[in-house]
Amino acid sequence: MFTFIKQYAEKITGAHIYAFISLCIFFLFFVVLLFLVKKMTKERVSELSNIPFDEAEIK
Amino acid sequence: MQVEKFYYDNKIVRNFAYATVIWGAVGMLVGLWIALQLVFPGDFPHGLNLAPYFNFGRLRPLHTNAVIFAFVGNGIFMGVYYSLQRLCKARMFSDKLSYIHFWGWQLIIVAAAITLPLGLTDSGEYAELIWPIDVAITIIWVIFGWNMFGTIIKRREKHLYVAIWFYIATFVTVAVLHIVRSGELPYTWLKSYSLYAGVQDALVEWWYGHNAVAFFLTTPYLGLMYYFLPKAANRPVYSYKLSIIHFWALIFLYIWAGPHHLLYTALPNWAQSLGIVFSVMLIFPSWGGMINGLLTLRGAWDRVRDDVILKFMVVAVTAYGMATFEGPMLSLKSVSAISHYTDWIIAHVHIGALGWNGMLTFGILYWLVPRIYKTDLYSKKIANVHFWLGTLGILFYAIPMYWAGFTQSSMWKQFTEAGQLKYTFLETVTYMKPFYAMRSLGGTLYLVGVLFMVYNLYKTVKAGKLVANEAAEAAPLEKVYVAHKGEHWHRWIERRPVQLMVLSLVVILIGGLVELIPTFLIKSNVPTISSVKPYTPLELEGRDIYVREGCYLCHSQMIRPFRSETERYGEYSKAGEFVYDHPFQWGSKRTGPDLAREGAGNLKKTNGWHFRHFREPSSMSEGSVMPSYAFMLKDDLDTSDLPAKIHAMITLGVPYPKGYEKEALADLDKQAQQISNTLLSDSIRVSPRKEVIALIAYIQRLGTDISKNPTPTFNK
């Protein structure tokens, strides 16, 4: 079943670099995530966390 | 802007709530039944085994499937359908899709409840259901996703609250997991073989199995926690910022953790290490989520004393914290060496299932049912009784199982001063019986609690009237959104469900692909062993019976490289031994001994021994908890699918000679006759075409491929 992919994958040289690149991407992803989350304003956070209470039911 | 009037669909929420309660009680009842089968193992009426349909091996998958997919599954849909409508300020996209989703899912459950006792199984744990049901699950899951995304797209609330991200990640990941794990080659309308073999099948299984825990039992429930806990406590979540980090970190890390189920096995070491590293890191997002949940109650802890719903939720979140602390610890190699194959793991999963999933579901039900029926809960007192029964039930369940796990492991590993194993396996089995009895008591308490809930909810429903269409109003979403200057990036993605889904998909695919692809493609990961040959037709038939009866649920076929295991079971297992195993049968629990080398070395028994053992296990192993398989002595072996089976195996790459489909039956008869003859010399007269003959052939084959004396010496 995998022969089709296999014949190409086995020929890839230096495949280890992909693992390293993916690690870097995700490290950066989390650094950026933490940085941007830190930058969120108080009002914004309060607005978002109150979404469940901003109900649309007719009382 | 003009405010629009619309109606929430509470009927679908009600339907899923009923299904949750009913299937929950059924799933737990089956669990209690199989727990009692280990305490009273004989055939009915002397014991609780009702062969063949209600033996332990056939009921155990029914229990796990019922609890995971029927109880928790319906619980997810109940919570999602209630919260999604309100968080999006919109009715569900299509009532028709909701209807098809509900009935489709219930039909799948009924189909599972029929096929599993019939022995129709694929044998992957939590993925046992046969291929036509797998197809049905795919269709119904897509319908659920379609309905969910349709609702999100027509929403009246600009931003997607964090709960919805968890729902989206759940939808995407479960779809990927289900499709990959269901990779199978059908050979009849009901049966199939896994596309993967041995080590690869094991890796796919536990990549799937662990992520079923992650993305079916955890992420959707975290979404529910982020909606229902703030609602019940009437205060917003403690830290929304933390919830963002929690979400991305959790879905990224979880997908890698599967191989921790296979530590010290024949899985390549690098994959084991990846599993360990990511499992240990998982404690951070998991505890981040737990702390976020518990701290939502800051300043409201006094209410927990009086509010039974909050009590349920606090125990649920605490159990989540306990289970997710324990998980990373169990993933350490040294701890896994002790815990794997023991009842410790059973305790661990029940902290999650009974504590986290169960208690959160009950809390949500008590909160939600009175609301959609516009009434008050019938009795807070009864709910309190339920709470205490549930909490005590968890303790009575888990503590004996932890104790049993430690004891089992220590007994398995104990040597005498002379350097011999101190205990036979059977001694460790009989020692467990009091623990199994205590665990059943815990299960009974928990189930009785649920029955109290059923009564309480029934009375609540009777007192109120369903508001099937609940009126609401909100302004429609502006068509063109003007971004503010310096807008936060996450704000961008929070408005875009499709992009959020794609990003979640990318995040989870990376982990899955990095682990799976090299195991499939790089030859050195599964070194071949030239003496390992395909199963003979009779052994293949026997193996299918082994799968049918769920033998793998109590017997592993994977010897770890410890002295205590190699002394007891023989040479440790190698990856190359399993290359023709579609599906793999390594198992994950040793209620009975490992069988990887049952046909070789010191473990080899005569055909007559096996025959008598299958007829009445306790006659050969006094105190055994194994059910009797006497029906196999009478039932004829059905060989009608044999050519199709051989053909399927050839398609999967098993090197049978070309055209072997036509010759297989003659070879089967020849080998069956040989076994029948050896039994005759042991004063056992049995037709060679009985099921037991095939099973004996398979058991006698186990481990012979790489043993020093590979020629079977029947009846020595």
Task: Tell me the C-alpha distance between B541 and B583, whole Å.
Answer: 13
Instruction: Tell me what pLDDT residue B480 has.
Output: 57
Chain B residues in contact with A16 by the CB 8 A cut-off are: none
Q: What is the mean pLDDT of residues A11-34?
A: 74
**For residue B482, what pLDDT is reported?**
55
> B93 phi and psi, to 5 degrees?
-50, -50
The reported pLDDT for the residue numbered A10 is 56
On whether any CB of chain A is under 8 Å from the CB of B514, the answer is yes
Dump the DSSP string for B571-613: S---GGGGTT-SS----SB-SS---TTTTSGGG---HHHHHHH
- In this prediction, residue B88 carries a pLDDT of 94
By the 8 A CB rule, do B296 and B237 touch? yes
Cβ–Cβ below 8 Å for B86 and A34: no
Encoded tokens for B321: 């914290």
Q: Report the gap between the CA of B471 and the closest CA in chain A (Å).
A: 6
Q: How many CB atoms lie within 10 A of CB B534?
A: 17
pLDDT at residue B714, rounded to an integer: 37
A55 in contact with chain B, both atoms CB, cutoff 8 A: yes
Q: If you ran DSSP here, which 8-state letter would residue B476 be given?
A: P
SS3 call for B50:
strand
B252·A1 Cβ contact <8 A: no
Q: Which of A26, A40, A49 lies at the smallest CB-CB distance from B237? A: A49
Q: Decide if pLDDT at A5 tops 80.
A: no
Q: Does B517 touch chain A (CB under 8 A)?
A: yes
* CB-based contact B155:B477 (threshold 8 Å): yes
**pLDDT at residue A7, rounded to an integer:** 53
Flag if B227 and A52 touch (Cβ within 8 Å).
yes
Contact B542, B585 (CB under 8 A): no
Q: Are B549 and B119 in contact (CB under 8 A)?
A: yes
With H, G, I as helix, E, B as strand and everything else as coil, classify residue B470: strand
Query: Which site among B248, B278, B281, B651 would you substitute to test the A interface, given the most A Cβ atoms closer than 10 Å to its Cβ?
Result: B248
Confirm whether the ipTM is greater than 0.85.
no
In this prediction, residue B372 carries a pLDDT of 96
Query: How sure is the predictor about A26, in pLDDT bands with cuts at 50, 70 and 90?
Result: confident
Measured CA to CA, the distance from residue B367 to residue B170 in angstroms comes to 23
Q: How far is B476 from chain A (nearest CA, A)?
A: 12
Spatial separation of the C-alpha atoms in residues A8 and A28, rounded to whole Å: 30
Strand partners, B43: B49
**Which pLDDT score, from 0 to 100, does residue B500 have?**
76
Q: How far apart are the first and last CA of chain B?
A: 89
State whether A6 and B86 contact (CB < 8 Å). Answer: no
User: Can you give the pLDDT at residue B484?
Assistant: 55
Query: Which of the residues in chain B have pLDDT under 50?
Result: 708-716
The pLDDT of residue B268 is: 83
Interface residue of A48, A50, A54, A55 to substitute, partner B, most B CBs within 10 Å: A48
DSSP characters over B294-337? HHTTTT-HHHHHH-HHHHHHHHHHHHHHHHHHHHHHHTSHHHHH
Query: Do B464 and B374 meet the contact criterion of CB atoms below 8 Å apart?
Result: yes
Closest-CA distance of chain B to residue A57, Å: 4
Determine the Cα–Cα distance for residues B504 and B31; give it in Å rounded to an integer: 34
pTM tops 0.95, yes or no: no
To the nearest whole Å, the CA of B359 is away from the closest chain A CA by 21
- Report the residue from B161, B473, B489 with minimal CB separation from A56: B473
Do A44 and B237 count as a contact with CB atoms less than 8 A apart?
Answer: no
Say whether A26 and B520 touch across the interface (CB within 8 A).
no
Q: What is the pLDDT of residue B494?
A: 64
Best of B237, B254, B255, B487 to substitute, by most chain A Cβ atoms within 10 angstroms, is: B237
Binding-face residues of A in 22-41 toward B, CB within 8 A: 22, 26, 29-30, 33-34, 36-40
> How far apart, in whole angstroms, are the C-alpha atoms of residue B642 and residue B648?
10
The three-state (H, E, C) secondary structure of B380-407, written as one string: HHHHHHHHHHHHHHHHHHHHHHHHHHHH
Cβ–Cβ < 8 Å for B211, B170: no
- Flag if B236 and A54 touch (Cβ within 8 Å): no
Contacts of A39 in chain B (CB under 8 A): 488
Say what the pLDDT of residue B514 is. Answer: 72
Q: Could you tell me how many CB contacts below 8 A there are between chain A and chain B?
A: 87
